[in-house]
Structures are given as structure tokens and as C-alpha cells.
Amino acid sequence: MTNNRFPEQHGPPSDMEKIKDESDYLRGSLVESFAERLSAGIPDEQTKLLKFHGSYMQDDRDVRNERKQQKLEPNYQFMIRVRLAGGVASPEQWLKMDELAHTNGNGTLKLTTRQTFQLHGVLKWNMKKTIQGMNDALMDTIAACGDVNRNVMCNANPYQSDIHAEVYEWSKQISDHLLPRTRAYHEIWLDEEKVLDSREETEPIYGPLYLPRKFKIGVAVPPSNDVDIFSQDLGFIAVLEDGKLQGFNVTVGGGMGMTHGDTNTYPQLAKVLGFCRPDQTLEVAEKILTIQRDYGNRSERKNARFKYTIDRKGLDWIRQELNARLGWDIEEERPYTFDHNGDRYGWVKGDGKWHLTLFIQNGRVKDSEDYPMMTGLREIAKVHQGDFRLTPNQNLIISNVAEEDKEQIEKLVSQYGLTDGKHNSALRQNSMACVAFPTCGLAMAESERYLPSLIDKVEDILDESGIRDEEIIIRMSGCPNGCSRPALGEIGFIGKAPGKYNMYLGAGFRGDRLNKLYRENIGEEEILQELKPMLQKFAREKEDQEHFGDYVIRAGYVEAVPDGVEFHS
């Protein structure tokens, strides 16, 4: 591979750069690897390319040791992630995902923190027919993972349907505009005829090496910051005047991931770069992405995200470079304010249609003995005439329900005991946990399977203190990659080892301030010992409208983190 394709190098290219370079535009030997029948897995190098097609090879970690003892290969299976800009799905798409989860997956659906579906537990032999099934329902998985622009998020806004429609359209257009152009996906999974000479293929935006690392974009509509705009590599904050979209404030350089013990890695919040009009959106998105393509670190993947490029080069340099690439100057940022980053539950009416936001604990859609949630949602999808919106907080909106259909949906909601979360504590309603065990290969501690029971115990403290309805953002991740955006939790937990977590406090309720390490490597007993007096004191001392994240700073539990570069200091 050549070293001079990009103006700046940081050392020898990482192995991943070589894999991309030699992949023939993401084809690699995926066809052969999936045709091979001896192992339920595929070779390591191919798993890296598979990500660009929206899938990860995993193994069931609950049985890893047992299988090792029995000298069996790990229980390989695949996770498939759908590309679903803005999280909008039709009832037909919902039904298809439900069907595939039962026929080819583990019988559950995961609604992710980036508003899409994941299937877990798909076997190698079922991969192609699963992806083809998604394709039948007009869904694909291209670029849902990999060193490219990922699923574009969009404010799930059930309040203003006309603005949602317009802004959602932009998120879809950004997503489409930044899709890889290779036909590899269609050839491998959809049996499209092979491009005669793939060397004639080009990737006009990405080039043959794609991006140095994953790239994430979100679109927010104030006052809701549900998409956590400051955690995105690139963000668009809608600016409305008299209810009309004027354009977007453009943010750059957010990201949550870090590595325990490596202070060169840190979560960072995005900064506002300027303002663009709606018709300039795609050009701005493309040029910013190409700056990262050309200047991101291709040597050290831990420092390859756009946030590090920006912290290295400076925001002014990025703006100048953007203006030079655009050939015109991005405007000054416009005023905006956010109120919250959580979801608002229950029914609301917007522009003549009803929308119901349901609480889905940690985004896991499944049936259990006492709660047939998946069946209930399937029955709703069978009769629903509107659409579904997956929210950035792993919840679900049954949206665009006509007045005359509302009663029928309400009946099903109550028949299946589906919950708008209102009988829960406001803490649980504002909770998120990443997948972690048993599927995530990087998990160090439980998350999705553990947070609900920890919250049960914290709810007792809230009840005793009379603050059950106090909205507090709590987030847990099973490792420091931060898939539930835990650095933006007023209370954040990041897994260190089985049963052990680092505890963070003091993020902003609006998703505008990072939290700070409070206690290291503690288990449940210590967590509750820490939280109990703190929450009791908060209940007594909190000022009017004061949020927990602000209180813990005022009360001196932690210091405010002004910028991600100071996260560890």
C-alpha cells in the first residue's frame, strides 16, 4: 500500500489500513468465508471487513469457558445491525425484524442507542437469508458498522410532526449521500452480478481506504437533545424561526470512547463550528468527513476518531480547512438552547396525529413470562397505520396514529401491559445500558442484564427520600467504549471487571457537560453506600429546578469537567 495518499501520516499504517487496501472495495474473501462449512466462524481478517456490511462475529460468552474445556470452538454467531436513518421504521419493517429475530436470531430485538435494530445470535449459515429478508422489507445493513459514516441519528420529536418530517428527510439524505458506493454488499448478500472489473469502481467520497475510524452524525431539534448532539463526530442542530427551519448549527468532534488507564484517550464533547443553510447541509457534511479522511490518524486506531484530529489541529484550523474546501465561508453560529437529552413518555398530539412513547428497558424487545412485550408490539404492528420511531434512548414511539385509530392502539397497549414507564421511577425512565454480556466481545462487566436490578435498589433510596419523580440520567456501559454514552450520565458507570465499575458523577442534564470520575472499581455494595447519603442529601438540599448533575458539583462531590482533554485530570 502507498503511504502518500494522504497529506499527513502519524507512523506506519495500522493493520486495518492494509486490510481495507487489499479488500477490493470491501469484498475480501467474504463469499468464500461464508461458504466454508467446517467452522461456524470466519477468519479474523474477514470479521474486520464484515463490519462494513453491518455485522460482527461474536460468541456466546456465557458458554465460552465451558466450550474451551470441552475443546470446542467458541459458540460463534453473528450480530447484524440495520441502517435506519433517524430510527424510522414502517409496521411492515417491524414485523419483518420480529420474524427474523424468531427464525434466525435469538428471539429478541435490540433497539440501539443510535436508533436502529440489532439482531443477535444469527448463525453463519443463516446470514445471507437474514440480510435478504431485511432487503425484502427495504432495509439494509450497509455501513451500519465499519470505518465509514454510521447510522445517522435524528431527533425523534413526537411534538412537531412537520419539523420532524423535514429534519428527518435531511438525516436520510446525509445518510444516503455518505454511503459507500462499492457494489460489494449487493454482490455478496443479494446475489447481484459481480462488477466486471472492480478496479474500475471508485469511492468518490471515501477513496479506497475509507475513513481512519468510525464516523457518527446526528441531527438535533432544540429544545430536545435526545440525540446527544455533543457526542457526535458531526452534528446538525436545527435552527427554527417561527416554526420554520432556517438551517443548522454545525458541531464537530464529539465521542465517548476511551481506554482504561490510557490518558491519551478520553470522551470529548463536540464544539459548534458555525451555521449552514439547509441546502448547504450535504456539502458541509461531505467536506467535514473528507477532512477527517485526510487528517485522521491512520496509524493508531485508539487516537483515530475525529475528536482527536480536532484537538490536535484546533477548531480554527478545521474551520479554515472547511471553508477552503467549500469555497465559501460557513456562517457564525446562531443561538440555541437545549432542555433535556432524555425521552418524554406517553401520548402527545402533533399536527393532528397522535404519538405514544413507550419505555423499553435498555432497548431489549422480548417476551418474558410476566411481560409479553414483543407479542404486544407485534400485534400493534399488524394494525398500525403510521410508523415506528426508535429513539436515541433505546425507547420506541408508535407514531402518526390517526384520531380514529388511537383507541385500538390504546387497547393493545393495555392488553399487553406495555408501559409508558410512568409507574417507574423517573431514574429508570432516564436509564440506558449497553448490551455487554453475553454477546459483546469487549465487555468487562455486565450492563444490560445488571442495571435494572441495581435501579430496583436505588429506587428504594429514592422512595425513602421522596424523590421518585426526580429526573436523573443514569447510564451504564460494560467497558470504556461508552456505547450507552455513559460519560453523559449524571450518574455514570463504566465496567472494569465482573461486578466492578468506575462511578462517574456530574454530567449536565442537557447532555452538555461530561461527568467526572468519583470512585474507582467498586461493586454494588459500595455503589449503594455512596449513592444513599448523596441522594438523601440531594433531596434535602436541592434548589428549585436544580438537577442532580449540577448539585453534585455544587455540593463538592466532583469538579465540573470543562473539556474532554481534562477528563482525567
Report residue 246 as a C-alpha cell. 432556517
Determine, following the binding rule CB under 6 A, whether residue 151 of this chain makes contact with ligand SRM.
yes
- Taking CB under 6 A as the binding criterion, the range among 65-73, 352-360, 462-470, 481-489 that sits at the site for ligand SF4 is 481-489
Determine, following the binding rule CB under 6 A, whether residue 479 of this chain makes contact with ligand SF4.
yes
Active-site residue, selected from the candidate residues 271, 364, 483, 510? 483
Determine, following the binding rule CB under 6 A, whether residue 481 of this chain makes contact with ligand SF4.
yes
C-alpha to C-alpha distance for 309 and 304, rounded to whole angstroms: 7
Least spacing, CB of residue 493 vs ligand SF4, in Å: 11
475 binds, among ligand SF4, ligand SRM, none (CB under 5 to 8 A by kind): none
> Which residue, 259 or 320, has its beta carbon nearer to ligand SRM?
259
Determine, following the binding rule CB under 6 A, whether residue 443 of this chain makes contact with ligand SF4.
yes
Least spacing, CB of residue 276 vs ligand SRM, in Å: 22
- Taking CB under 6 A as the binding criterion, the range among 28-36, 289-297, 353-361, 430-438 that sits at the site for ligand SF4 is 430-438
Tell me the backbone φ, ψ of residue 563, rounded to 5 degrees: -160, 145
Active-site residue, selected from the candidate residues 48, 213, 216, 516? 216
Task: Residue 301: count other Cβ atoms within 10 Å of its Cβ.
Answer: 16
C-alpha to C-alpha distance for 168 and 400, rounded to whole angstroms: 14
Which of 218, 478, 489, 508 touches ligand SF4 (CB under 6 A)?
478
Active-site residue, selected from the candidate residues 154, 440, 485, 496? 440
What are the beta bridge partners of residue 262?
Answer: 259
Cis peptide bond upstream of 438, omega within 30 = yes
Which of 395, 477, 502, 515 touches ligand SF4 (CB under 6 A)?
477
* Angle of CA points 88, 430, 397, to nearest 5°: 25
- Taking CB under 6 A as the binding criterion, the range among 363-371, 451-459, 467-475, 480-488 that sits at the site for ligand SF4 is 480-488
Tell me the backbone φ, ψ of residue 521, rounded to 5 degrees: 55, 50
Which of 20, 287, 298, 305 touches ligand SRM (CB under 6 A)?
305
Size of the site for ligand SF4 (CB under 6 A): 13
Determine, following the binding rule CB under 6 A, whether residue 515 of this chain makes contact with ligand SRM.
no
Q: Is there a catalytic annotation at residue 479?
A: yes
Which of 41, 482, 492, 495 touches ligand SRM (CB under 6 A)?
482
116 binds, among ligand SRM, ligand SF4, none (CB under 5 to 8 A by kind): ligand SRM
CB 564 within 8 A of CB 308: no
Active-site residue, selected from the candidate residues 20, 27, 81, 293? 81
What are the beta bridge partners of residue 348?
Answer: 355
C-alpha to C-alpha distance for 2 and 523, rounded to whole angstroms: 49
Question: Which among 538, 535, 531 is positioned nearest to 554, based on CA atoms?
Answer: 538
Torsion angle in degrees (nearest 10) through CA of 449, 452, 457, 461: 150
C-alpha to C-alpha distance for 479 and 261, rounded to whole angstroms: 12
Torsion angle in degrees (nearest 10) through CA of 441, 444, 449, 451: -140
User: CA 218, 223, 225, 226 torsion: positive or negative?
Assistant: negative
Which of 28, 41, 278, 363 touches ligand SRM (CB under 6 A)?
363
Determine, following the binding rule CB under 6 A, whether residue 476 of this chain makes contact with ligand SF4.
no
Sheet holding 153-154, edge to edge: 153-154, 217-220, 234-241, 244-252, 271-276
Active-site residue, selected from the candidate residues 83, 110, 183, 214? 214
Per-residue string for binding with ligand SRM, 243-262, x by CB under 6 A? Answer: ------------xxx-----
Q: Is there a catalytic annotation at residue 150?
A: yes
Determine, following the binding rule CB under 6 A, whether residue 112 of this chain makes contact with ligand SF4.
no
What are the beta bridge partners of residue 272?
Answer: 251
What are the beta bridge partners of residue 80?
Answer: 55, 119
Q: Is there a catalytic annotation at residue 378?
A: no
Determine, following the binding rule CB under 6 A, whether residue 436 of this chain makes contact with ligand SF4.
yes
For the chain, the 3-state helix, strand and coil shares in percent, each to the nearest 5, are 35, 20, 40
Which of 155, 447, 502, 515 touches ligand SF4 (CB under 6 A)?
447
Question: Which among 226, 232, 267 is positioned nearest to 250, based on CA atoms?
Answer: 232
- Taking CB under 6 A as the binding criterion, the range among 290-298, 314-322, 331-339, 428-436 that sits at the site for ligand SF4 is 428-436
Which residues between 55 and 74 bind ligand SRM (CB under 6 A)?
Answer: 56, 58
* Angle of CA points 155, 423, 399, to nearest 5°: 30
Per-residue string for binding with ligand SRM, 322-341, x by CB under 6 A? Answer: --------------------
User: CA 360, 339, 527, 542 torsion: positive or negative?
Assistant: negative
79 binds, among ligand SRM, ligand SF4, none (CB under 5 to 8 A by kind): ligand SRM
Q: Is there a catalytic annotation at residue 434?
A: yes
C-alpha to C-alpha distance for 280 and 239, rounded to whole angstroms: 14
Which residues between 437 and 476 bind ligand SRM (CB under 6 A)?
Answer: 439-442
C-alpha to C-alpha distance for 450 and 434, rounded to whole angstroms: 10
Tell me the backbone φ, ψ of residue 30, rounded to 5 degrees: -65, -40
Question: Which among 328, 395, 393 is positioned nearest to 355, based on CA atoms?
Answer: 395
Determine, following the binding rule CB under 6 A, whether residue 428 of this chain makes contact with ligand SRM.
no
Catalytically active residues are 81, 150, 214, 216, 434, 440, 479, 483
Judged by the rule CB under 6 A, the positions of this chain that interact with ligand SF4 are 434-436, 440, 442-443, 447, 477-479, 481-483
Judged by the rule CB under 6 A, the positions of this chain that interact with ligand SRM are 56, 58, 79, 81, 112-114, 116, 118, 150-151, 214, 216, 231, 255-257, 305, 363, 434-435, 439-442, 481-485
